[in-house]
Structure 1
């Protein structure tokens, strides 16, 4: 009897049972949270903090429609001409302001004037409200150009939070230091979720129905499986031996994809993004550190034509080109399976042909000719290379 096979079979069977039980529990918790969001209430503003927790724990993708309806209702009834009209504490006002802006609603920062003293400075009384200060601090990071009051609020909250950070007790100390190091609006979703789970579960008023930890662990297993599949693809290509000059950036490339799409419904696009980023890292090294200018000119023309007649290319470039061509065919099949074949021409035109590869070639020509690019040259160059992210 093959005991390794038997052990693997038993492990997989047990994992499937556990996953089914967890999924059933998640569905129950989702139902409870959804019920809290849609329940009619005389005080809909009371749902602000629930929505904030759901969003910060990154489980909001389960409740997008319900959250949108609640915020739309609040915006219709408590925001006039862009100004929040309800009177409340700084914590609630700043949280609502941030949530509305993050979800695309028009709202002005004028509401924060009510928290200033007669001299036009933010009231020192606010410094006694740690959660309020944190909420205002986070709200300032979604300011737009010209919003002086948010600039003032950022300076005010930063100064006071830095001063008291080492004087606070757990868990406020951890939360303040974390926010000062990396503001919510500027953090990566999965990292913020992982950090906030630890903070939220220690809050005595946390909601047991929010499925943060279960959802995080379920997604983590999915992401690990995706990484394993992409890693297997990478190892089978044997790039490390066939293109020894290229960097091995597997972990970073997969992490980039998670930074853009972490939700389970985007598994296919994550896989594609991971492979594209890994492949383009190798292309980058080819243009920057290995290929001669003549080889690079030939390679660029071959990519532009998507021409499989590559007899004039060196062997290492033929190998790299076939990887790109195979990836293109894989993307084509995925697009057909998802009814999005119309996007394929845009992908080829904007990513491989006219923008990204040509940007590498431009850079190689500058280096070969000892050319010092102008500011305008660099702006065009950055625009071309940034199209990779935009197209994805």
Structure 2
């Protein structure tokens, strides 16, 4: 078929070129590495000692934890933090009764983020707590003392800027029926927006940053990088923590650069002839780094990186290159038992996405066989089959210029988001905790609530962000268009409805993160983190994965290019 009938997107070239193939970093030197890792061990011991000394001062302990987490160091102290938070949780009521807005909000946020159910009224038995959780009524009466008798927040709390900022950050861990947190979010956002221009630095920068990027929805590495700068400006900062955070950040950055370099070499080594695709390997790796950055997940990133990149090529083949006849053939080939010899039976350009996916899964099997875990890769293959069927459906809608209803669209679009596939792929290299039961849980139809929520967030922020670019060419209708054409909304109304749906999905994710967990917490954290990646990459109605986006380039460079000056 002629080029004319292809829905080619003309994506811009890769911004990073071969930067990561040629990068040199002193931390890549083995001797330097060993010496720095010794330093890290010493810092870990020092911090553990300080944690012991602070144990009996709940407020100091809380501030210490908040700093450890925000500086990106919490992964060194998982057990210590968990134990101490249990203690804080048990003395929760007494603490809240006498504390200021800043500490009440910070404690509430940290406990919720760690899955602790935090009422602050009567002490309930565990049975009642579980019952309340099943009814999903999470009381927010810890904040009642900051409200007037008429139910609105006291204007006097706006004088306490740090307290108001902390309330704003806490309101993002809300779940359904958290009325008081819905009000807190509206109140704090309005008041902080009104005062930000009158504040002086560094507080002004902190407030502006939080309004642009709430902590709970930010990518952990990006937020840690930012917070290290903020923390350094705080005259009361803990010197040990600050030095430790900088060293740890730079060591991890060196590891991440190496992983990205390996991924780039792998991709080049596949010798694919697919110039129509988005050359976004650095962005793809940055996205994955949002899901997990810890050294122990290095294998997980390697496996997920290859699958992510092969999936992105598949997406572009269906979305911006193949003709319906070619795509039907490709879909059919994916439904059969996978075999590299089928590559030659496929049309010239679409065969590369088949080749890349088969290759990525075979290599994942080889990597996981060492741990006796190659069985999990079949769950990924099943997801790819489902993905191709859904991609094909969208391609047909596009070809027929058919605009589905919103519900009809979402049924397919949640699959093509493609987080049901991505979440399973992110579990592959995570070791023992990703059991057969976990993959069965994640693969079920209908999609589990947490997976559906993350997929909804990605799909809708992508549609709000990519709508204009995609509609410049022949492209499947987006959620925005479905609402405009089938449900009679204006573009603004459609975007508003989609933003509400995204907020609802966030409440579902926050709910899933509360104990008792349906699967183990490290796995649920991947789902939460992938939702965060989507929020950041499609921030402010832009598609940072597809188009050149200055803000995203800066965030990527801050995490992957520039080390922190010690």
8 Å Cα contact 1:45-1:74 kept in structure 2: no
**Contact kept in structure 1, 2:307 and 2:361, CA below 8 Å:** no
Matched, 1:42 2:56: yes
Q: For residue 207 of structure 1, report the CA deviation from its aligned partner.
A: 1.2
Q: Is the counterpart of residue 177 in structure 1 residue 191 in structure 2? A: no
Q: Within 5 A, what are the aligned runs for 1:129-144?
A: 129-144=160-175
Structure 1 counterpart of 2:78: 64
CA RMSD of aligned residues (A): 2.3
Q: Does 1:364 align with 2:395?
A: yes
1:296-342 C-alpha deviation (Å, 9 max, x unpaired): 11111111211444253223333432222221110101121233223
Q: Is the 8 A contact 1:54 1:60 kept in 2?
A: yes
The CA deviation at 1:79 is 4.2
Query: Mind listing any 5+ residue stretches in structure 2 that lack a counterpart?
Result: 1-21, 119-138, 427-566
Q: Is residue 2:366 matched to residue 1:326? A: no
Q: Which residue of 1 aligns with 2:29?
A: 15
CA deviation profile, 1:258-281 (whole Å, cap 9, x unmatched): 111111111111122222222222
Shift of 1:194: 0.7
How far apart, CA to CA, are the structure 2 residues paired with 1:352 and 1:116? 51
Computing the radius of gyration from Cα coordinates, the structure with the larger value is 1
1:80-137 CA-to-partner distances (Å, cap 9, x unmatched) read: 9xxx754111111100000000000001321111112344332232222221111111
SS at match of 2:176: coil
Contact 2:215 2:223 (C-alpha < 8 Å) held by counterparts? yes
Q: Which has the higher contact order (CA 8 A, sep 6+)?
A: 2
Count of equivalent residues: 377
**Relative to structure 2, which stretch is displaced further, 106-115 or 271-280?**
271-280
Matched, 1:352 2:384: yes
Q: Is the 8 A contact 1:59 1:212 kept in 2?
A: yes
Residue-by-residue CA offset, 1:227-276 (whole Å, 9 max, x unaligned): 1111122223343xx21211211121111111111111111111222222
In structure 1, the residue matched to 2:69 is 55
Query: 1:1-392 residue pairs with structure 2 within 5 A?
Result: 15-39=29-53, 41-79=55-93, 85-107=96-118, 108-210=139-241, 211-239=244-272, 242-305=273-336, 306-310=338-342, 311-349=344-382, 351-353=383-385, 355-385=386-416, 386-391=419-424, 392=426
Q: Equivalents in 2 of 1:11, 1:90: separation in Å?
A: 44
Deviation of 1:163 after TM superposition, in Å, equals 2.2
SS of aligned partner of 2:345? coil
Output one character per residue of 1:336-381: Cα deviation in whole Å (capped at 9) or x when no partner: 12332231221211x212x212211121222233433233322221
- Counterpart CA distance in 1 for 2:312 and 2:28 is 39
SS in 2 for 1:154: helix
